[in-house]
């Protein structure tokens, strides 16, 4: 018996060691799937959760996905005893509705769903502007006033289109555009204002904000929400139309789950779902950030910007025609662009051609700048990059980047597929050059961007000043 026990221990040790030593480049699809830890699904959750859904579907093609997501979340509510769903849903066919769903729900259109649309003055004859931050504020005020009987953990899920950093020339900007309201949209600073007017603040923080929209995973977005949101789940790049696997997300929550656990599990489940969806070759991403630690990024970013403002001889590494870290050369090459619009816009490979900016993974950018500093013996720049990376590891609790096919693009795969790493500073992007003066691009324009005057991040840092100095025609 003792020999048999030793034999099994030896086999287990050999198997475990071989898994740990296998290089990432050799991972098969099956091995990649094995990276995701098993998430134990619990049956009944007594801890009270309030799932707030802001689904803006009065636009191009989102309705079918949002309907499916609503069903998935409602079905997942079966695992909860003391929780509720409050959903604002604006569709392109049936108008705007306000629903409350109680367990057991099974699906959205069950007897557990109550239509409360006529009980609020901000929805008139099933009409509301989902592309206005004022509607966000009214929805959240209504929810915060209605659900006061329990100390709920509050999770807000925003489902719609998104286009990241915005300008003011095109119809679809930032997120939640509403085609029935002259294609109105909600900008990042406006959405943060909606959260604050809706009742969230430093004294009453929203526990988790999930923005299930494309291109809204920048440091600028995360910084905007720091005074009213604890944890943020968002994507620096595109996000699948079918969205986050919500039923699995609901099933993964337990009575013992911390906010960080929930955020990490969402990233895991999304990554697993993408690997199973092998027909999708877009470079998908998802990140969970702890916004409690983001405030110091303002000073650290200013130190980085001030270095290049002061040492103009090094600006070429950021903005020269060749070998630039902040300007797209219409090739993927060795750069780490999250917004591939410069390459794919003409072929419609990216379906969100509404961003005015190239965005770059901030952690990867500091890697490149650190290497440049070491090669050129610039200790000041190297130290700034290290300090930024150390702070980013405190912010990003989980991040994942998928893959796209093709010889040039494959080299970017696996940059941070090892999700939930304890030393992970990849997963939030930062704004670089503007698309507005690219003459061979369809969206070229002579108007300058309002970027410097809109984001709190750029009011609190000198990053915008650097961009204006590097690209005076664009900012």
180-213 per-position pLDDT tens digit: 877 788 888 899 999 999 999 999 999 999 999 9
Q: How do residues 266-313 score in pLDDT, each as one tens digit? A: 998 988 887 655 444 556 788 999 999 999 999 999 999 999 999 999
309 burial type by CB count under 10 A (0-12 exposed, 13-18 middle, 19+ buried): middle
In the predicted model, is pLDDT for residue 36 greater than 90? no
Strands 429-434 and 357-361: antiparallel
Which among 452, 285, 264 has a CA at the least distance from the CA of 361?
Answer: 285
Structure tokens at 187: 């900008």
Q: How many residues does the chain have?
A: 475
Q: Quote the CA–CA distance of 104 and 351 in Å, as a whole number.
A: 37
Sign of the Cα torsion 214, 411, 263, 454 reads negative
Q: Quote the CA–CA distance of 122 and 473 in Å, as a whole number.
A: 42
Phi and psi at residue 80, to the nearest 5°: -115, 140
Q: Quote the CA–CA distance of 351 and 238 in Å, as a whole number.
A: 8
Structure tokens at 58: 């009065």
CA dihedral angle for residue 158, residue 164, residue 167, residue 169, rounded to 10 degrees: -70
CA geometry: angle 200, 431, 275, nearest 5 deg: 80
Which secondary-structure segment (H or E) carries 3?
helix 2-21
Strands 229-234 and 285-290: antiparallel
Q: Structure pTM?
A: 0.83
Which positions ≥6 away from 162 have C-beta within 8 Å?
174, 175, 176, 211, 213, 214, 215, 216, 239, 352
pLDDT-wise least confident of 5-14, 59-68, 166-175, 298-307: 5-14
Q: Quote the CA–CA distance of 135 and 54 in Å, as a whole number.
A: 10
Most confident option among 180-184, 215-219, 341-345, 450-454: 215-219
Is the Cβ–Cβ distance between 232 and 264 less than 8 Å?
Answer: no
Q: How do residues 15-28 score in pLDDT, each as one tens digit? A: 333 332 323 333 34
Q: Quote the CA–CA distance of 294 and 226 in Å, as a whole number.
A: 7
- The chain-wide mean pLDDT, for the chain, equals 76
Is the Cβ–Cβ distance between 58 and 130 less than 8 Å?
Answer: yes
* Cα distances (Å, whole numbers) of residue 145 to 41, 86, 142: 32, 12, 5
Q: How do residues 120-159 score in pLDDT, each as one tens digit? A: 999 988 999 999 999 999 999 999 999 998 999 999 999 9
Q: What's the pLDDT band for 351 if we cut at 50, 70, 90? A: very low
Most confident option among 208-222, 309-323, 355-369: 208-222
Q: How do residues 84-119 score in pLDDT, each as one tens digit? A: 999 999 998 889 999 999 987 666 666 788 999 998
Structure tokens at 385: 């990059």
Residues 341-366, buried b or exposed e (16+ Cβ, 10 A)? bbbbbeeeebebbbbbbbbbbbbbbb
Which positions ≥6 away from 142 have C-beta within 8 Å?
86, 98, 120, 122
Q: Quote the CA–CA distance of 232 and 263 in Å, as a whole number.
A: 8
β-strand partners of 436: none
Which among 54, 358, 324 has a CA at the least distance from the CA of 236?
Answer: 358
Which among 462, 424, 459, 104 has a CA at the least distance from the CA of 305?
Answer: 462
Structure tokens at 129: 């502007």
């Amino acid at each position: 018996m003792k020999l048999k026990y030793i034999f099994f221990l030896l086999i287990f040790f050999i198997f475990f060691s071989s898994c740990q030593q296998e290089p990432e480049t050799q991972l098969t699809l099956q091995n990649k799937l094995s990276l995701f830890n098993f998430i134990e699904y619990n049956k009944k959750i007594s801890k009270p959760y309030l799932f707030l859904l802001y689904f803006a579907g009065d636009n191009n093609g989102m309705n079918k996905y949002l309907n499916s997501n609503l069903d998935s979340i409602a079905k997942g509510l079966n695992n909860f005893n003391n929780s509720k769903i409050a959903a604002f849903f604006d569709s392109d066919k049936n108008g705007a509705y306000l629903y409350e769903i109680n367990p057991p729900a099974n699906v959205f259109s069950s007897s557990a769903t109550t239509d409360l649309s006529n009980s609020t003055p901000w929805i008139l004859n099933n009409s509301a502007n989902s592309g206005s931050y004022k509607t966000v504020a009214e929805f959240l005020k209504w929810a915060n006033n209605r659900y006061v009987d329990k100390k709920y953990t509050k999770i807000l899920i925003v489902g719609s289109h998104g286009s990241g950093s915005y300008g003011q020339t095109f119809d679809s900007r930032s997120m939640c555009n509403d085609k029935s309201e002259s294609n109105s949209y909600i900008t990042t600073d406006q959405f943060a204002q909606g959260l604050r007017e809706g009742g969230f603040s430093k004294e009453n923080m929203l526990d988790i904000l999930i923005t299930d929209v494309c291109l809204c995973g920048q440091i600028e977005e995360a910084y905007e929400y720091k005074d009213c949101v604890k944890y943020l789940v968002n994507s620096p790049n595109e996000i699948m139309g079918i969205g986050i696997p919500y039923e699995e997300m609901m099933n993964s929550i337990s009575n013992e789950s911390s906010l960080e656990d929930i955020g990490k599990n969402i990233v895991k489940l999304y990554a697993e779902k993408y690997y199973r969806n092998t027909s999708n070759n877009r470079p998908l991403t998802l990140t969970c950030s702890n916004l409690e630690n983001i405030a110091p990024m303002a000073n650290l970013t200013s130190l980085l910007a001030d270095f290049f403002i002061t040492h103009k001889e090094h600006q070429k590494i950021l903005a020269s025609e060749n070998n630039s870290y902040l300007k797209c050369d219409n090739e993927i090459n060795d750069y780490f662009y999250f917004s591939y619009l410069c390459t794919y816009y003409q072929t419609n490979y990216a379906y969100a051609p509404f961003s005015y900016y190239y965005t770059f993974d901030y952690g990867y950018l500091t890697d490149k700048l650190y290497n440049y500093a070491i090669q050129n013996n610039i200790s000041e720049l190297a130290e700034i990059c290290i300090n930024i990376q150390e702070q980013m590891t405190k912010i990003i609790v989980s991040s994942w980047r998928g893959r796209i096919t093709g010889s040039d693009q494959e080299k970017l795969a696996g940059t941070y597929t090892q999700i939930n790493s304890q030393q992970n500073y990849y997963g939030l992007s930062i704004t670089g050059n503007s698309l507005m003066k690219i003459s061979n691009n369809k969206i070229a324009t002579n108007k300058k961007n309002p970027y410097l005057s809109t984001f709190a991040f750029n009011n609190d840092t000198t990053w915008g000043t650097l961009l204006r100095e590097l690209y005076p025609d664009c900012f």
